[in-house]
Amino acid sequence: MTPPSRHRLIPGWRFFEPIGWKGKLGLGLLAWGSFLLGWHLLSVSGWANPRLLPSPLEVLRAMAELFGERGFGADVLVSLRRILLSFGAAVVVALPLGLLMGAFAFPENLLNPLISPFRYLPAPSFVPLLLMWLGTGEMQKLALLFLGVIWFLVTLLMDNTRAVSRDLVESAQTLGANRRQALLKVVFRSALPTYVDTIRQMLAVSWTYLVIAEIVAATDGIGAMMMRAKRLVRVDEIMAGILVIGVLGLVSDAILRGVRWGCFPYARDGRK
């Protein structure tokens, strides 16, 4: 039965109705195609100064040159290592705190007043302090990246823990679980898929701090390359750096989405 034609809407304009994978792909390509085309036209038409706005093709050419002749791959690996080390440390610290603070009022009320305000302090404002305390070495960069995410990570993981169904915990207790078992086998296990979601989102934030960490007193890394390019007004190289960060961010996001999808089949969208 087809509804009268004047009531029919273009797919994607019905309230809350999802669109098929073809529609998803098509619209995504449309958006990127228009963006790149607009950029290209802006650059080649002479509307914008091509030195300050190189075309997408020139950015790709610069990227190929960076990787092929200038050893940019090593810089990318340095940045990747910084993200993995600092973010890994942040997760290792935040996970037990978020679990305990979400499950029990004592650690929550002890630590949350301390941790919560730090979320409002921009991590870059710690740069002068970190330079004095840790010097200009690797530790200073790792510390900045760590400070950029740790406060949010703890509070978000705490909220994830708090959202665990109380009924599940009580069920476990009536089945004979002691406190430790209830905490680890039920609370932690139950919140795990949402922990992965939070970690994925905070990883994106970590990438956004990368350039800030590598602007100050850095000789290697994607950010340092971009600062060198700025001095030589190589906008194409700066843009290539931005592009690489974006792609790496997307890839790490996709990996964590894959982990979420593969490890928690019961918690995929729409499963109850």
Residue with tokens 């510390």: 143
In the bound state with another protein, the residue whose beta carbon lies nearer, of 57 and 175, is 175
Asked if 170 is part of the footprint of another protein (rule: CB under 8 A), the reply reads: yes
Least distance (Å) between residue 171 CB and another protein: 4
Nearest by Cα to 253 from 184, 199, 212, 190: 199
Length of the chain: 272
In the bound state with another protein, the residue whose beta carbon lies nearer, of 190 and 206, is 190
Position among 7, 22, 231, 271 found at the interface with another protein (CB under 8 A): 271
In the bound state with another protein, the residue whose beta carbon lies nearer, of 125 and 174, is 174
Window contacting another protein (CB under 8 A); options: 26-34, 90-98, 140-148, 170-178: 170-178
- The pair phi, psi for residue 16, each rounded to 5°, is 55, 15
CA 148 to chain CA centroid, Å, is 12
Asked if 172 is part of the footprint of another protein (rule: CB under 8 A), the reply reads: yes
Asked if 269 is part of the footprint of another protein (rule: CB under 8 A), the reply reads: no
Judged by CB under 8 A, the chain residues 192 through 221 that form the site for another protein are 192
C-alpha distances out from residue 92 to 87, 154, 213, 258, Å? 9, 10, 21, 21
Number of residues that bind another protein (CB under 8 A): 24
Asked if 168 is part of the footprint of another protein (rule: CB under 8 A), the reply reads: yes
C-alpha distances out from residue 55 to 40, 41, 226, 241, Å? 5, 8, 18, 15
Asked if 53 is part of the footprint of another protein (rule: CB under 8 A), the reply reads: no
Report d(CA 209, CA 212) in Å as an integer: 5
Asked if 46 is part of the footprint of another protein (rule: CB under 8 A), the reply reads: no
Asked if 4 is part of the footprint of another protein (rule: CB under 8 A), the reply reads: no
Q: Residue 229's CB: how many other CB atoms inside 10 A?
A: 19
In the bound state with another protein, the residue whose beta carbon lies nearer, of 230 and 268, is 268
Q: At residue 94, what is the residue type? A: A
- The H helix count followed by the E strand count for the chain is 11, 0
Position among 53, 89, 111, 177 found at the interface with another protein (CB under 8 A): 177
E strand map for 44-158: none
Asked if 112 is part of the footprint of another protein (rule: CB under 8 A), the reply reads: no
What residue ranges bind another protein (CB under 8 A)?
Answer: 165, 167-168, 170-178, 181, 185-186, 189-190, 192, 264-267, 271-272
